[in-house]
């Protein structure tokens, strides 16, 4: 399936990133850091594309290996440090034309809406729904939300090899426990690209709940893009793999795409 030529460009899928502060640097090379916060800020602040347009193959993998494959098209933009994302499910028929919009806000929670074609209605995702799974995947709505660097305290645990990369290992703990479904996260940041390449998320009882593994990184123009990632729920055995099959970067997209009107009609 090719990218729709009549549609504008957009953003790297939020599900690929899954709330671990991934970045898409314009540069490579180890950055000097002194503590966990410095590592996370380097990753958080690294330059990223203003726009991208992606086509994603999503695989929902049961514990027994049975797999359901979905195709998702996504548009997005970043302006003044704030990100907006639109996702449109293209297949299979059971989820076709489901549309999702997320808008990052300054100093308050992200806004999220979802259009359900069976009901022909758009509804806002309430903050109380943050721990619910997004469209049957292993990512929750909170996983897809942005977190500011200082929402968490960050401890540099070690420098280690993780997932084949030379990394800084950082433990991030919410300053306000009610702001996250996790008690803490451990993130391994690749020193060369500043991408999070392996993450562990722990539930409120301190038990390992999810693992996110970046399986493949590809250079697209000047950006390092995680084009394949696997999110696994350790407690249920279910997994979600996201593979970017096509991507365009830095091609502007109309602001009208990032609206409830687009969710309702599918037209910018």
Question: What band does 81 get if pLDDT is binned at 50, 70 and 90?
Answer: confident
pLDDT mean across residues, the chain? 88
Q: Which domains does the chain show, CATH number per domain?
A: 14-265 (2.50.20.10)
Q: Is pLDDT at 173 greater than 90 in this prediction?
A: yes
* Cα–Cα dist 64/100, whole Å: 29
State how far the Cα of 73 lies from the Cα of 69, in Å rounded to an integer: 14
165 vs 188: CA distance, rounded Å: 9
223, 26 contact by CB (below 8 A): yes
Maximal CA-CA distance, the chain: 52
Number of Cβ within 10 Å of residue 26's Cβ equals 13
| Helix or strand (DSSP H, E) at 265 | helix 260-265
Outline where DSSP puts E strands in 164-207: 165-174, 184-190, 196-202
**Mean of the pLDDT values across residues 110-114?**
96
Q: Give, rounded to a whole angstrom, the gap between the first and last alpha carbons of the chain.
A: 21
Instruction: Render 24-81 in DSSP notation, one character per residue.
Output: --S--SPPP-SSHHHHHHHHHHS---SEEEEEEEEEEE-TTS-EEEEEEEEEEEEETT
DSSP state at residue 251: -
**What average pLDDT does range 131-140 have in this prediction?**
96
How many whole angstroms separate alpha carbon 238 and alpha carbon 40?
28
By CB atoms closer than 10 A (0-12, 13-18, 19+), residue 55 is buried
Both structure tokens of 73: 């098209």
β-pairing verdict for 121-124 and 223-233: unpaired
Give pLDDT tens digits for 194-218.
999 999 999 999 999 999 999 999 9
The percentage of residues in the chain with a pLDDT greater than 90, rounded to a whole number, is: 78
Q: Enter the pTM of the model.
A: 0.87
Is residue 18's pLDDT more than 60?
A: no
Q: Residue 110 above 70 pLDDT?
A: yes
> Which stretch of DSSP H or E encloses residue 114?
strand 108-116
């Amino acid at each position: 399936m090719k990218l729709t030529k009549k549609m504008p460009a957009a953003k790297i899928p939020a599900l690929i990133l899954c709330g671990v502060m991934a970045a898409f640097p314009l540069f490579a090379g180890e950055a000097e850091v002194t503590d966990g916060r410095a590592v996370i800020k380097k990753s958080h602040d690294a330059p990223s594309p203003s726009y991208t347009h992606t086509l994603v193959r999503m695989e929902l993998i049961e514990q027994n290996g049975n797999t359901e494959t979905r195709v998702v098209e996504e548009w997005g933009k970043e302006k003044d440090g704030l990100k907006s994302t639109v996702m449109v499910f293209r297949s299979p028929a059971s989820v076709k034309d489901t549309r999702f919009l997320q808008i990052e806000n300054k100093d308050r929670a992200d806004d999220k809406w979802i259009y359900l074609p069976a009901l022909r209605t758009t509804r806002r995702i309430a903050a109380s729904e943050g721990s619910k799974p997004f469209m049957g995947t292993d990512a929750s709505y909170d996983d897809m939300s942005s977190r500011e660097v200082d929402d968490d305290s960050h401890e540099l645990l070690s420098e280690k090899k993780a997932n084949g990369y030379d990394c800084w290992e950082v433990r991030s703990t919410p300053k306000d426990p009610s702001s996250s479904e996790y008690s803490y996260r451990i993130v391994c940041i690749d020193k060369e690209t500043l991408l999070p390449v392996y993450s562990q998320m722990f539930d409120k009882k301190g038990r390992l709940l999810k693992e996110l593994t970046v399986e493949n990184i590809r250079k697209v123009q000047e950006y390092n893009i995680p084009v394949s990632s696997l999110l696994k729920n350790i407690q249920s055995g279910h997994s979600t793999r996201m593979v970017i099959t096509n991507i365009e970067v830095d091609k502007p997209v109309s602001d009208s795409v990032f609206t409830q009107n687009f969710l309702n009609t599918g037209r910018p």
